Structure 1
Amino acid sequence: MVSITISSAAKPPSFAKNLPISVEIDTDSTIGDLKQEIARKFPKFYAERQKLSVKGDRKALDDEAKISTVLGDKLEGAELQVKDLGPQISWRTVFLIEYVGPLIIHPLIYYFPNIWYRTNVEHSELQKFVFAFVTLHFLKRELETLFVHRFSHGTMPFLNVFKNSAHYHILSGLFLAYEIYSPKFAAKAPAIVGTYREDPNWLWAFAGVWAFAEVSNLHTHLTLRNLRPAGSRKRAVPYGYGFNLVSCPNYFFETIGWAVVSAMTNGYTAHLFFVVATLQMAAWALKKHRNYKKEFGKEYPRGRRAMFPFIL
């Protein structure tokens, strides 16, 4: 057993005013075990809310790292700092909240046009296709969140849920739905009559590409799930369909899906969401690509790009 001093990295929260404290813990324990010990002394300071770091270093310590490895020969009498990350919410809950927005907003606008446009809308085949695409996409995302995804991080700051949800509720929800289901794209509208937007061959061709993208995206998520045993944070190099070319084929395939909606409608909001979503996913992909290369080094395939084959 060793005694470790836990001090506050900033002003301690009201429920942990007694910091600093000394914690007695076994040398084979992990940082996660240490967080649990802190939570026992301050019940409201639950482990997910804590960020532990070596004094003078802001880098967060990994929950799975052994205390003896982190502190080395400075173990006895060592001091770690804890920072309050604020109220937390599980990633699974965040995803469910994000994706449910479009599942509510699109039907409200599609089925009740009188409320939004002050007129009836005879839906065109284009509008029916887009409504099906959006509904099936976000229903798939909800089911994946419940039954497929395994998260490496359990929680995130509660306030972030509002920022994250805005992307889906406003851009792919309210903005996209309001334009696409409007009289502008109704069955007898000039934007539809005599154009590719009412040609069944074009619509089903778009549907085929969209279905390919969605199924491929699901396949990618299943591959990632199978790399991580339940209840663990194990990471491994992914291989197989899509991964032979890029680190994040799930983002690549999702981009294809939204490109279909953008091309088949040629609507301003569809273009806007496609650009914003692609830029955001590219940023995530580049970060994950760098982390893969850093973690696995020479084991990681050198020819892979982050998100777009041979390009990025």
Structure 2
Amino acid sequence: MVSQITLIVEPRGKPIRKLPKDVTVTLTSSGEELYSAIAEASGASVHRLRITKGSDRSVVPNAKSTTIKDTGLKESSIIHVKDLGPQIAWRTVFIIEYLGPLLIPALFLFPLRNLIYFNFDKPLPEPSDLQLLVCLLLTLHFLKREYETIFVHRFSNATMPARNIFKNSAHYWALAGFNIAYWVFRPDAAAASANPNPILVYAGIALFVFSELANFNAHLVLRDLRRPGTTERGIPSGFGFNWVTCPNYMFEILAWLGIYLVSQLSWSVLFFTLVGGLQMWSWAWKKEIRYRKDFGDKYKKKRTVLIAGLF
């Protein structure tokens, strides 16, 4: 006979209408089933709820793989339920994030050119071939990101707080969109030259193409570690994963360094790359720590998490 227990339910933060005072589950019930039961009873979206244990405030995972017994909850244990507020799907977040830098370069280079560079002598010169090339590389990069968002990535969390969409989008819209487009496409930019350094151009194109393909391959490896609709994790292996914890981040940075070379060393591209690189370095270390914790001796520890031989 399956053992049933009754958990005491208390709100945390703002009150949740119709939140039940208790909920009955079995020790073999999953965390996902607990979330669903409370969501159904309260009428709240399951994605808005976060359940924590009253004893130590640790989060009860909303996962099929975690049972009530695994969490340590017992008869009459107290759980706190918090309303996280309006949510937005992670896939939607990424689509919006990348849409800005996907469209902004072409807008700056063509229909908005005379308005943006109003302080230059008229008529403005036509965009150089190199500026057109940089625009093409930026467009290809973010088209790839949109494709991966829709068809490749599998997200461990279904949603995030809707208010975060502005913060998350600012990095890409401001730094990768407005910042790079304005400075690289100026009539007096280094990329506007009719005689750019060919070594920088060809080296940058080669680095960009190689890195984008390698980055895509890394994303496919990570995608295949997780079955659709699950949050399970596995140990990634394959090209780049023996060098660093997150080769997808490494190849992302290398692709941007390729654009930096093609742009004739524009500081705006380098600035975006450095800011993004620091964030990815932080994420990579957190992932390395999580791999070591989750997989123990099965995981080969990495000292270099981001750039082979450096970080």
Fold shared per TM-score above 0.5: yes
* Aligned 8 A contact 1:127 1:185 in 2: no
Counterpart in 2 of 1:27? 27
Q: 1:133 aligns with which of 128, 137, 141?
A: 137
Counterpart CA distance in 2 for 1:162 and 1:249 is 28
Counterpart in 2 of 1:310? 309
Matches within 5 A, 1:24-103: 24-43=24-43, 45-64=44-63, 65-71=66-72, 75-103=74-102
* Aligned 8 A contact 1:171 1:273 in 2: yes
**CA deviations over 1:226-263 (Å, ceiling 9, x no partner):** 11111111211011100011110000001011112223
- SS of 2:125's partner is coil
Q: RMSD between aligned alpha carbons?
A: 1.8
* Aligned 8 A contact 1:244 1:304 in 2: no
Counterpart in 2 of 1:255? 253
Counterpart CA distance in 2 for 1:205 and 1:186 is 17
**CA deviations over 1:22-45 (Å, ceiling 9, x no partner):** 1122332112211111111221x2
Matches within 5 A, 1:111-260: 111-112=110-111, 113-118=113-118, 119=122, 120-185=124-189, 192-196=193-197, 199=198, 202-260=200-258
Q: 2:6 aligns with which of 3, 12, 21?
A: 3
**CA deviations over 1:258-307 (Å, ceiling 9, x no partner):** 11222332223112111111111111111111111111111111345211
Closer, same or farther in 2 for the Cα pair 1:19/1:202, shift >3 Å? Answer: closer
- SS of 2:212's partner is helix
Amino acid aligned to 2:27:
T
Superposed displacement of residue 83, structure 1: 1.3
**CA deviations over 1:204-246 (Å, ceiling 9, x no partner):** 3311111001000000000111111111112110111000111
Higher mean alpha-carbon deviation, 84-93 vs 2-11, is at 2-11
Closer, same or farther in 2 for the Cα pair 1:63/1:5, shift >3 Å? Answer: same
Amino acid aligned to 1:173:
G
**CA deviations over 1:108-130 (Å, ceiling 9, x no partner):** 11112112113433112221121
Amino acid aligned to 2:86:
P
- SS of 2:310's partner is coil
Counterpart CA distance in 1 for 2:268 and 2:210 is 23
Superposed displacement of residue 183, structure 1: 0.4
TM-score by length of 1: 0.91
Counterpart CA distance in 1 for 2:117 and 2:261 is 24
Counterpart CA distance in 2 for 1:165 and 1:298 is 38
- SS of 1:184's partner is coil
Q: Post-superposition, which runs of at least 4 consecutive aligned residues in structure 1 deviate over 3 A?
A: none
Superposed displacement of residue 193, structure 1: 4.7
- SS of 1:80's partner is strand
Counterpart CA distance in 2 for 1:132 and 1:194 is 19
Counterpart CA distance in 1 for 2:77 and 2:278 is 44
Counterpart CA distance in 2 for 1:214 and 1:78 is 50
- SS of 2:156's partner is coil
